[in-house]
Structure 1
Amino acid sequence: MARYTVQALSAGWEFKSSNDSIWRSAQVPSEVHTELLRHNMIPDPFVDLNELDVAWVAEETWHYRTEVPIPETATHNGAKVSGVEVDLVFEGLDTFATVILNGETILKSENMFIEHRVAVKHLLNSNTANTLEIIFEPARRHGLELVKAHPEHNFIVHQTEVSRGPVRKGQCHWGWDWGPILLTCGPWKPVRLETYANRIQNVKLDYELDLTGPSPVVEVNLFAEITGLACRVTADFFFAGETIVSFEEVVSNEAQGTAAWIYQPASTKIPGAKLWWPRGYGSQNLYELRVRVMSADGDGSTCLAEERQTVGLRRTELVQEKDTIGQSFYFRVNGVDIFIGGSCWIPADSFLPRITPQRYQDWIQLLADGNQSMIRIWGGGIYESSAFYTACDSLGILVWQDFMFACASYPTYPSFLTSITTEARQNIRRLRHHPSLVLWCGNNEDYQLIERYKLEYNFPDKDPASWLQTNFPARYIYEHLLPTILASESSVIPYHPGSPWGTGTSPTLAVDATVGDVHQWNVWHGTTAPYQRLPDMGGRFVSEFGMEAYPHLDTLHRLISNPAQRFPGSQVLDFNNKAVGYERRMLTYLGENFRVPADLAGFAHLTQVMQADAVAWAYKGWRRRWGRAGERACGGVLVWQLNDCWPTVSWAVVDYFMVKKPAWYTIRRAMKPLAVGVARKFHDWTARPADALWKRDTGHVDPREALTDVEFDVWVANSRLERVEGRVVVRFVSVKTGRDVKERLENEVVIEPNACTEVLVGFKFETDVPAKDAEHFVIHASLWVEGEQVSSDTSWPDPIKYLDFADRGIQVKSLGQNLFELSAEKPVKGFVFSERQGVKVSDNGFDIIPGEKAVQIRIEGAESEPGGLLPWKFVRQ
């Protein structure tokens, strides 16, 4: 009998446009822009204004072709062997594709998220060439045709044009407020030829964990679909190479025939199960599941088909319990409450085939190195490569997975529902055994359209059929279709209808900050509130917030080829930043807080310091609200966003080239297992809120009040599961002189496990100095455990632009071996090395406080720089 064999069809491809007669070599997986780049037929869309010059690519029809061999095992003496099947498998076609084999159409695809399997043995020639051709038609054109064909649906599409609404394609390919319009096409995932007599599919391991005893006990249930003839099927469950449990079943040919059949042995219990834990809470234990179909010939030792799955055992709960605020929203893994500090993720490249498994691994390693615990895969991108989730499994990073719907009111006509049903089922099956995946979420921001456009949403109405008759029929997708599919395909992963989403205070309200997750965009967007107010602007879980910043200078130079364009607000930079109105918002925040420089290096530096400051206020303030068991006011925070899909100015804390902005380091400090925080009462120095007397906001404010009316809090956040004894030291250091302006405070503290411990609340800085003679000072808090400083934090007086940073007395001393020591005579704000690709810096974007231990920094990869030291800047006026 024929063994299961796979032949990758990656070589020998050619491509061309319908308007071109010349076929050129192609590499599959492929996307047409990358092929055109490889042949020097288009300029790099990531440089200058070249995005505009390649727009024509999306309007063309593109052809790919190759020759397909007939597998040797499928023929004998020129004749096709009975009982042996040959399938062409297309893991992903982007997007409107017609597949032709030897002149016959075998497939039409309209969904880039679906894998297609086509039986082709009957079409393959044994003695002549077999030509496979794939024709890709323009996605935008088809999208507009679908909108016109369905006038019954009121398409509402945000961020981009309406044509993306009915198209099952990465929604950000139409452009977003951080990415270019690059409507790609091509066989973006592998194409392969499979030959088999037996095939195993839909392997599913359901399990239940009993955590009540001295060690975990798991009960496992196995399910698999098997096609073809077989006499023996085995399944083995391994841990660290050791067999934990084995299943075997002998099936007679009469019982199974030639049709597909189900292999489902009896469930079994495994005592002493090794659990998979999030990073920082335990080991990332992984089991291997192997299912095999054995030959009926001889001794039955020949394996005809085999399927392997890596499985992690863990219990995941989304805890939503009524409390004094509303309803909680946080994650519990293996019975342990987990505060989430992480990021949102967009596709790492506009051209998806360029993202290698190693690049995924590097991104997730970067996330882990930054003390982050979760990545949210945003609903306007793609269901990521399995390599992404494998990296998260190995590094203990939790994954929040959106289904691919974002910022639109999606249709529900029958063919659309059929397509997304297949899409959801396939991707759930592909990803369900990854222990890192802890939440499926219905969409990104689609429920916000209800409030903005006053769409119909009657929460008490629980009849899914009635939802299809409203002007928001997509509710049927998010609250009926997707959760139903998930329940049947993966019972161990929670579901959340949308992000943001929550109901509680009103039966018709779709988003409620006291109940569900929130996207806090009243900083930057919305009311453009001061970012210092972020700690009081959260919710039960903040799944988006952000502040824009420029990337480092080297990245800026790579995206701007003309030196004459390298200044803030240049045509290229304005075009490259896709956030509408960003000039006003960025200059508003810069102008409120800093003295704005005119040069590119200085401007970029201050945007980075500003972003880091905003991120610090958010992560520190919202982690503080984690509280303790039973009082989880905030369950986590995810910054928008971790990464970029091209070199740009955006909210990313790491740029396209994986060069970290200072905000990445800020998150790392704020998310240390033990982290001290300090924050003074915020004084709005430009306006006094409206009151009964004035009836309006007014600018009649004495800015000197901030010098004498100083009230601050100090706390310690602890993600460890044990109580810790420590000492908190608070200093008050003059910005002008570097000397202490008041005697330090020292507090012995008992830090509660998995909680936030308040040290000082509403502590007033007492002074007899009149406001006109008072001086600015920083409040520096440090945490000491067993004689070692494990964390520190600094609160600066706002706004920074009022401070005099002359004569800081900075000293940089080389200690050899790429190690440098930094100190200063006076407080230094926002010390930033100008990083670039290929250089590794141990810390960046920090403050230097005199009288504290000197900062030691290791810089690797900058040997070509004078003294091996990168260029650096700090806030100076």
Structure 2
Amino acid sequence: AIHGEAPERVKKDLDLFADLGCNMVRCWGGSIYEDEEFFNYCDELGLLVWQDFMFACETAPQTEEFLDAVRREAEEVVKARRNHPSLAIWCGDNECDELFFYGALLGANQLPSSNRISREILPRVVTMFDPARPYLPSSPYLCDEIKRLNARYRSPEQHLWGPRDNWKGHFYKDNTAVFASEIGYHGMTNVESIRKFIPEAELNDRHGVSWTCHAAQQFGTPCYRNGLMENQAKGFWGYIAEDLTEFMKCSQIVQAEAMKYLIELFRAKKWSKTGLIWWNVIDCWPQFSDAVVDYYYVRKLAYYYIKNAQKPVSLIVSDPEAWGCRLTAVNDTAVSASGHYKVTDIETGEVFAEGEYEVAADSAAEVDYFKVCQADKRMLLIEWEINGEVSYNHYLLGSAPFDLDRYLGWLRKLDEKIYTAFGRHEW
């Protein structure tokens, strides 16, 4: 959602998607229809586009006059964009089915199928003018049977927001989604950027007027999302840092670990899980949010963790089961991959696993299972050979709270192996 973005920013934004290794961008239903230049550049980058029609979190009028206006607009949009190879799917709206599911504004007896816009007008337009492309009525799509069963999370395509607490909690770890079209985690904006939009006298007033004004969600509980950042950091570190720079580090580490974990959770379960669109890459104005790049193009730590986690071939350590961890090789390329691997403690060099891996094209395979002590707090370094080069990943073992100074020591070692080459500079 990049409302009012200048054309020069849009292209720069899409370059971030390519650098991160993303293969799809979702044009959200609360945004705008992007122009021809946007789609041309997505074609050029090989970046698929999930295109919502412009309805989001609403119950739109169902009058004949309004439905006819929707039809005419949709016809223009579909005709204008249908010849772009980057266009992957049309979607009727964002989260409008949820309003029918929960009965919000409508009453409990209204079924999702009573929305004539997503069930009648839009699919008819797509069938008439772009019949080869798939159409999804809503995201998440909640059919009438899902509502009758009161089974919100039985749908294969889900928005996995949930409690927004421990990302290894039941809601996230045991999710039933085959594809997650929204998922994310908050992370503090860089201090150098905050100083550009928060007055110096209010820098430490995280629940004051200026911070609330620049929160991603200003309605509901005052400054809810800023408080959310504090609570997420406290859950991981055991305290809320008073110093602004320290709090930024605490929050960005939490976001980075969470986003990495969620991406790898889906990748390690390929093909029972087929992908996720995480929210989001970049802010459209100066704010505190779950973006991994702020409005001024300063990258948060999560940017680098995600870039590494989205490499075409990766080795991933899963959470302990029965006193041990599984090592899974994931290959998103069209050819098989193989080589030597090793899993070590990043501090001590202790070897946990070592051997040869092999994984077929476009698949995932378990390559090892090694013993760990679940009470330990360690960072494991995973390294493997691929096409004559060495790649790295990491896994954070143990339960919160973690020690910030110790983690920063681990991060310096990760910078040496991975992130300095990506352009990351130590805080």
TM-score (norm 2): 0.89
| C-alpha separation in 1, matches of 2:113 and 2:395 | 50
- 1:499 aligns with 139
1:615 to 256, 259, 271: 259
Shift in Å, 1:796: 3.5
**Counterpart position of 1:657:** 296
Q: 1:286-325 maps to which residues of 2 (within 5 A)?
A: none
> Could you tell me whether the CA contact under 8 Å between 1:719 and 1:753 is conserved in 2?
yes
Task: Report the Cα offset of residue 551 of structure 1.
Answer: 1.6
Query: CA 1:471/1:747 → structure 2, altered by over 3 Å: closer, same or farther?
Result: closer
Contact 2:101 2:147 in 1 (8 A): no
Tell me the amino acid that sits aligned with residue 206 of structure 2: G
**Correspondence list, 1:841-860, <5 A:** 847=414, 856-857=420-421
2:148 alignment partner, SS class: coil
1:721 aligns with 2:321: no
The one of 264, 278, 288 equivalent to 1:639 is: 278
CA contact (8 A) 2:25 2:50 kept: yes
Question: Which residue among 580, 585, 603 is the counterpart of 2:228?
Answer: 585
How far off is 1:371 after superposition? 0.4
Secondary structure in structure 2 of the residue aligned to 1:589: helix
**What's the counterpart of residue 389 of structure 1?**
39
Superposition pairs for residues 299-698 of structure 1, below 5 Å? 346-347=1-2, 349=3, 352=4, 355-356=6-7, 358-453=8-103, 475-503=115-143, 506=146, 508=148, 513-524=153-164, 528=165, 530-533=166-169, 534-560=172-198, 562-567=199-204, 569-571=206-208, 572-579=210-217, 580=221, 581-594=224-237, 595-626=239-270, 632-681=271-320
Instruction: Sort the Cα spacing of 1:506 and 1:431 in 2 relative to 1 into closer, same or farther, 3 A.
Output: closer
Letter in 1 for 2:357: V
The alpha-carbon distance between structure 1 residues 732 and 564, as it changes in their structure 2 partners (threshold 3 A), is same
Q: Distance in 1 between matches of 2:63 and 2:142?
A: 26
After TM superposition, give the deviation of residue 669 of structure 1 in Å: 0.9
**Partners of 2:107 and 2:83 in 1: CA distance:** 37
Q: Aligned with 1:847: secondary structure?
A: helix
Contact 2:379 2:394 in 1 (8 A): no
Structure-to-structure mapping, 1:654-803, within 5 angstroms: 654-681=293-320, 710-733=323-346, 738-740=347-349, 742-761=350-369, 763-765=370-372, 776-801=377-402, 803=403
Q: Alpha-carbon deviations, 1:534-577, whole Å to 9, x = none? A: 342250100111111122122111111x2111125152113311
How far apart, CA to CA, are the structure 2 residues paired with 1:398 and 1:783? 30
Between structures 1 and 2, the one with greater strand share? 1
Residues 507 and 557 of structure 1, relative CA distance in 2, 3 Å threshold: closer
1-structure distance, mates of 2:68, 2:366? 53
Please give the alpha-carbon distance, in whole angstroms, between the structure 1 residues aligned to 2:274 and 2:153: 12
Q: What SS class does the counterpart of residue 292 from structure 2 fall into?
A: coil
Question: Quick one: distance in 2 between partners of 1:619 and 1:403?
Answer: 26
Instruction: Look up the SS of the partner of 1:480 in the other structure.
Output: helix
Q: Say if 1:389 and 1:855 are closer, same or farther in 2 by CA, change over 3 A.
A: closer
The residue type paired with residue 409 of structure 2 is: V
Q: Deviations over 1:250-295 (max 9, x none)?
A: xxxxxxxxxxxxxxxxxxxxxxxxxxxxxxxxxxxxxxxxxxxxxx
Quote the Cα distance in structure 2 between the aligned partners of 1:513 and 1:635.
Answer: 16
Structure 1 pair 788/796, CA: closer, same or farther in 2 (3 Å)?
same
Deviation of 1:502 after TM superposition, in Å, equals 4.4
Shift in CA distance, 855/655, structure 1 to aligned 2, threshold 3 Å? closer
Deviates more, 1:658-667 or 1:385-394: 658-667
Q: Look up the equivalent residue of 2:414 and give its one-letter code.
A: D
Which residues in structure 2 correspond to 1:65-84 (within 5 Å)?
A: none
- Greater alpha carbon shift after TM alignment, 435-444 vs 361-370: 361-370
State TM-score, norm by structure 1.
0.45
Q: Is the 8 A contact 1:784 1:791 kept in 2?
A: no
Answer whether contact 2:112 2:144 (CA < 8 A) is retained.
no
2:282, 2:159 → 1: CA distance?
18
Taking structure 1 as reference, are residues 514 and 722 closer, same or farther at Cα in structure 2, changes over 3 Å only?
A: farther
Report if the CA contact (8 A) 1:411-1:473 is conserved: no
Alignment gaps of 5+ in structure 2: none
Q: How big is each residue's C-alpha offset from its partner over 1:19-59, in whole Å with a ceiling of 9 and x where there is no partner?
A: xxxxxxxxxxxxxxxxxxxxxxxxxxxxxxxxxxxxxxxxx
Unaligned runs of 5+ in 1: 1-345, 459-469, 627-631, 683-708, 809-826, 832-845, 860-868
Amino acid at match of 1:374: M
Query: Separation in 2 of the partners of 1:600 and 1:568?
Result: 10
Counterparts in 2 of 1:473 and 1:637: CA distance versus 1, 3 Å = closer
**Deviation (angstroms), 1:505:** 6.8
Q: In 2, distance between residues paired with 1:598 and 1:643?
A: 26
Contact persistence 1:438–1:493 (CA under 8 A): yes
Distance 1:830 1:409 in 2: 47
In 1: Cα distance, 2:404 partner to 2:129 partner: 62
1:843-866, Cα deviation, whole Å (9 max, x unpaired): xxx8358xxx5864475xxxxxxx
Q: Answer yes or no: is the 8 Å Cα contact 1:360–1:391 preserved in 2.
A: no
Structure 1 residues 363 and 776, CA gap change in structure 2 (3 angstroms):
closer
Question: CA 1:421–1:620 in 2, change beyond 3 Å: closer, same or farther?
Answer: same
Letter in 2 for 1:418: D
In structure 2, C-alpha distance between the alignment counterparts of 1:549 and 1:568, rounded to whole Å:
17
- How has the CA–CA distance of structure 1 residues 633 and 553 changed in structure 2, closer, same or farther, with 3 Å as cutoff? same
Q: Who wins on radius of gyration, i.e. which is larger?
A: 1
CA 1:410 to 1:494, structure 2 compared with 1: closer, same or farther past 3 Å? same
Distance 1:591 1:618 in 2: 20
Using CA pairs under 8 Å that are at least 6 residues apart, name the structure with larger relative contact order, 1 or 2. Answer: 2
Asked whether the 8 Å contact 1:541–1:637 carries over to 2, the reply is yes
- Is the contact made by 1:456 and 1:471 (CA closer than 8 Å) also made in structure 2? no
* Higher share of residues assigned helix: 2
Q: Percent identity?
A: 25
Question: How many Å apart are 1:498 and its aligned residue?
Answer: 0.5
Contact 2:357 2:367 in 1 (8 A): yes
CA distance in 1 between partners of 2:128 and 2:115 (Å): 19
Partner Cα distance (1:655, 1:728) in 2 = 35
Amino acid at match of 1:558: K
The Cα of 1:787 is off from its aligned counterpart by 4.7
Structure 1 vs Structure 2 CA RMSD: 2.8
